[in-house]
Structures are given as structure tokens and as C-alpha cells.
Amino acid sequence: MNDLDRDKLIEAAFEVQKNAYAPYSGFYVGAALLTEDGTVFTGTNVENSSFPVGVCAERSAFAAAVSSGHRKFTAICVTGERKNNPLLGSNYCMPCGMCRQFMTEFCDQNFEIISAKSKTDYQINKLSTLMPGAFMFFGTTF
């Protein structure tokens, strides 16, 4: 991924994070997903009083992309901010286990996951590093 695409993803993730619905945890997450053809889809976390019913920002972005006919992806940026407890500090927002497994459905081992604290403070991991030995029903693990 080039610097322009990375900067575009980080910007989009921070922008959409403002739309997160997180009245229970106060943890606002944004995600921006880059398709193979350069299209960007965004998503936020949407909580529900029945906690398992909510959706993570990453899966929200993937759902939007897949609903629009996309199936090949190169990178995602994830941002997060805990608004109701500033004493917890700021950490890199990493995808949860469900989101990592979800990513393996559509992405290869070189898929990049950018976790950004700011537009200039971020880290990049490969999916194969964050989800080694992923479960694959048809096919092999990576």
C-alpha cells in the first residue's frame, strides 16, 4: 500500500469514528477498509443494550463493502477513543478476535491492519501476524 492510500484510510477512519454509537462502553471506534480497486468503505461500532447484538466497526465496514459487491481487500485502518474515561489513556485500537476471524474470510495473509492513535502515530500489522492459524472451513489456514 502506498502512503497516499494509508493516509486516506487513516483520515477516513477518524472521520467516521465520530458517528459511532457507543452509549454503554463509551468506546468509539471507526474503521476504513480499502478494496483492491481503491474504493474505501467505512464503518463504526454500533452497540446494543443486549451486548452480543452490537457490531464492531471493522465488520460494519466489511458488510458495507460486501453489500456493494466487493470481495477483495488490501488494508483496513482502525481507530478508537474511550470518551467516558480519559484516565485509561490512548492505545492502539486492535481488531477483536471475531473481527480477525471475519477478515480471514475475505483477505489473504498480506492484508494490512493499521491501528492509529493519530494521523501520524500508527502501527501496521499483517493479518497473518494477528490471526495465525485462522480457522478456514474450506481450504487451509495461513
Name the E strands within 36-82.
40-44, 73-82
User: Residues 15, 47, 58, 112: which is the catalytic one?
Assistant: 58
SS3 call for 3: helix
One-letter-per-residue 3-state SS of 73-136: EEEEEEEEEECCCHHHCCCCCCCCHHHHHHHHHHCCCCCEEEEECCCCCEEEEEHHHHCCCCCC
Is 15 among the residues known to form the active site? no
Residues involved in catalysis: 58
